[in-house]
Structure 1
Amino acid sequence: MKFQGAYNNSIDLKGRASIPARFREELSRVCGDERLMVTQNKGGLVAYPMPEWEKIMSNVEALDPGQKRDDIYLSLISPATECSFDKVGRIQLSQSHRDYAGLESEIREIVVVGMAGKIMIWSKSKHAEIRAQAESRLDADPQTLADIGF
């Protein structure tokens, strides 16, 4: 699965976020299933296609019981909710997800970013911050970009 691109979208008053048609088409084409598991991570939300989520769950279950596994459950697994698209391609974001991602009632602008096998959702300001940090790290390590042909 290859989600790619960054799209400016919005959340409506009921907390529904529009997901780009290109992402929905890729999800349907590859998975035959338009459900996503949405959880919180890195100051935003991350949405996984069900097959990707099932791989993650298998990997977590394979970890030895202990603090690391408990931390993953508490911070990433337990907040996850299954989302389906409505007729116009929106998913319902829970209030707890909106709170975590800083998507309060007055902040409706989001950026939906395809990152290969997952979809990230950030507020517009958080996306700008995350992207600036990423660009700074890449500027400090030009060899990484040269190694992959940029």
Structure 2
Amino acid sequence: MFRGVTQLSLDSKGRLAIPARYRDELLARCAGNIVITADPSRCLLIYPQPAWEPIEKKLNGLSSFNPQIRSLQRLIIGNASDVEMDGSGRILVAPPLRQFAGLQKEVVLAGQGEKFELWDVEKWNLEIEAALVYKDGNMPPELEGFSL
């Protein structure tokens, strides 16, 4: 399980150094083979390849005759990029994906269980601020009775 938030920097070539605490697990789970793709929230999703494959299969199994599904397939599967972690624990984030997510130098890697989200630091801060709306009692019904 990937959890936690880490502020990182992309280098001049668009490479991201995976934090050391995740490297061994990624090497053990997928030999450093990773899939990066676009998310509708304008961040990037980073999956170990074995975790990505059932998602891709499920998305491909949906009807492409539905325009909304077809658009989602184009976004997520069409932007999926296979990358391999190098010997220094870095991955290359392709320019089209960096542009899609508006990634500059400063980024945030957020563990989300089986995957990571990669955000531009300013967009991440806005997302976190937006998540605080629940403090005023605007709780979705699915969270009623949920306790931390």
Instruction: Compute the TM-score of the two structures, normalised by the length of structure 1.
Output: 0.86
Q: Hey, what does 2:120 align to over in structure 1?
A: 123
Matches within 5 A, 1:3-22: 3-22=2-21
Q: Which residue of 2 aligns with 1:132?
A: 129
Letter in structure 2 aligned against 1:60: L
Distance 2:145 2:20 in 1: 32
**Distance (Å, rounded) in 1 between the aligned partners of 2:116 and 2:35:** 10
- Root-mean-square deviation (CA, aligned residues, Å) is 2.0
When normalised by structure 2's length, the TM-score is: 0.87
Question: 1:146 Cα shift?
Answer: 5.4
Query: Match for residue 73 of structure 2?
Result: 73
CA deviation after TM superposition for structure 1 residue 69, in Å: 3.5
The number of residue pairs the alignment matches comes to 144
Gaps of 5+ in 2: none
Structure 2 equivalent of residue 94 of structure 1: 94
8 Å Cα contact 2:60/2:73 also seen in 1: no
Indicate the residue corresponding to 1:49 in structure 2: 48
Q: Distance in 2 between matches of 1:145 and 1:117?
A: 25
**Percent pairwise identity:** 29
Structure 1 regions of 5+ residues with no counterpart? Answer: none
Q: Which moved more, 1:15-24 or 1:2-11?
A: 15-24
Query: Letter of the aligned partner of 1:80 in structure 2?
Result: A
